[in-house]
């Protein structure tokens, strides 16, 4: 049974980013059922239950002015590809790992042939790097770590980790309850374990993790067992129902099944301070997750279909102006980029409802990778 106070929970991703406005959550009631994750190694740690933490009060958060993202038809041709090595765009990185950029994959080393040893990599770090990068070395999915291993040693990322160290995020066993930073450290990179790089076929882009107790578990739009489904996710379910009439919206909000099916659910910032939306923005996460998107540009779908070893394109679901900006640089011929308003209750009727994105995504995936390339959007097994 739904706790009456849960109807007042507000989720950051249900609100478009804003400069100074404050809003309360919608009064929409939500129901919860227990569910279970089917994890890949390393296994993300379930978030603690939020039961008893709401106290019947509304959470309040900052958000930006709502606005629809540019429609797909208004996309302009992508610019000439640039390397994204050191941040200046002038210095190429090591072949096969850090030469991420926008465009083709000619001369790119096949993903599965990139050599990587976790033990050797850790041994190559200096003592300060070992201290600060312990979380990445122990919890980031290896298919991602081997192509981001040089990125996480860059000065901006080390500065980010110094900031998080001061916030109390130091190792995989730190507790989010004690830290008041979400998600739990072990779950910060859960997206990289549920969805290996070569199996990515769809990318959903969020903004901040949810900033309430027990809400975030490392997958944008998703919540763990026992947490009310966010209003934006309920709108996503409604759109799937409109496109696939047989779909029965689940009574939970755990999207692990999609992640395991190749849907990368990536927040632009991977951490947030408790009850403080946007508190970890501008610290370096945006640059890092841009490199994650670049990695998908090069290797997303590498192990799908004919398994070419390099990316042949994926679907990006860019809902809201914030997400649209993150994918603006990508090739519109290599990838299918679907843009619309955000599914937040504040904007869903401005272009999200009726966008047909789930069927469009599957039609494109089937054409590119065959019938096995499709995503079963209707399969969301309850997590026990």
Which active-site residues does the annotation give?
208
What tokens appear for 221 in the block?
């739009």
Burial of 180 from C-beta contacts in 10 A (0-12 / 13-18 / 19+): middle
DSSP symbol at 275 = T
Yes or no: say if 280 and 210 are a contact pair by the CB < 8 Å rule. no
Yes or no: say if 336 and 364 are a contact pair by the CB < 8 Å rule. yes
What tokens appear for 172 in the block?
């995989």
Compute φ and ψ for 229, nearest 5 degrees: -65, 130
Q: How far apart are CA 350 and CA 60, in angstroms?
A: 23
Compute CA 204 distance to the chain's CA centroid, rounded to the nearest angstrom: 6
Q: How far apart are CA 316 and CA 264, in angstroms?
A: 9
Yes or no: say if 38 and 16 are a contact pair by the CB < 8 Å rule. no
Residue 81 CB contacts under 8 Å (≥ 6 apart), including other chains: 101, 102, 103, 104
**What is the per-residue burial (b if ≥16 Cβ within 10 Å, else e) of 236-265?**
bbebbeebeeebeebebbbbbbbbbbbbbb
């Amino acid at each position: 049974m739904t706790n009456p106070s849960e109807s007042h929970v507000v989720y950051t991703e249900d609100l478009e980013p804003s400069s100074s406005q404050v809003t309360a959550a919608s009064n929409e009631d939500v129901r919860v059922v227990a569910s279970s994750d089917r994890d890949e190694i390393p296994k993300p740690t379930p978030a603690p239950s939020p039961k008893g933490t709401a106290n019947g009060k509304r959470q309040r958060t900052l958000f930006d002015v709502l606005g629809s993202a540019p429609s797909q038809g208004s996309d302009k041709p992508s610019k000439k590809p640039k390397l994204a090595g050191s941040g200046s765009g002038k210095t190429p990185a090591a072949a096969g790992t850090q030469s991420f950029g926008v465009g083709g994959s000619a001369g790119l080393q096949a993903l599965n042939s990139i050599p990587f040893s976790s033990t050797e990599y850790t041994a190559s770090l200096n003592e300060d790097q070992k201290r600060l990068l312990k979380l990445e070395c122990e919890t980031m999915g290896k298919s991602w770590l081997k192509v981001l291993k040089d990125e996480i040693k860059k000065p901006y990322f080390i500065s980010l980790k110094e900031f998080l160290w001061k916030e109390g995020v130091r190792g995989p066993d730190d507790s989010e309850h004690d830290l008041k930073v979400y998600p739990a450290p072990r779950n910060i990179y859960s997206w990289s374990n549920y969805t290996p790089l070569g199996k990515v076929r769809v990318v959903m882009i969020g903004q901040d993790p949810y900033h309430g107790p027990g809400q975030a578990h490392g997958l944008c739009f998703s919540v763990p067992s026992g947490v009310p489904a966010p209003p934006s996710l309920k709108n996503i379910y409604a759109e799937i129902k409109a496109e696939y009439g047989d779909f029965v919206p689940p009574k939970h909000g755990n999207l692990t099944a999609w992640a395991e099916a190749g849907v990368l659910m990536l927040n632009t910032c991977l951490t947030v301070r408790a009850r403080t939306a946007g508190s970890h923005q501008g610290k370096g996460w945006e640059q890092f997750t841009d490199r994650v998107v670049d990695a998908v540009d090069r290797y997303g779908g590498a192990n799908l279909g004919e398994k070419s070893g390099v990316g042949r394109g994926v679907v990006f679901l860019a809902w809201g102006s914030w997400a649209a900006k993150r994918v603006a640089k990508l090739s519109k011929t290599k990838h299918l980029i679907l843009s619309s308003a955000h599914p937040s209750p504040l904007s869903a009727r401005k272009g999200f409802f009726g966008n047909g994105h789930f069927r469009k995504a599957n039609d494109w995936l089937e054409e590119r990778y065959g019938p096995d390339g499709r995503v079963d959007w209707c399969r969301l097994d309850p997590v026990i």
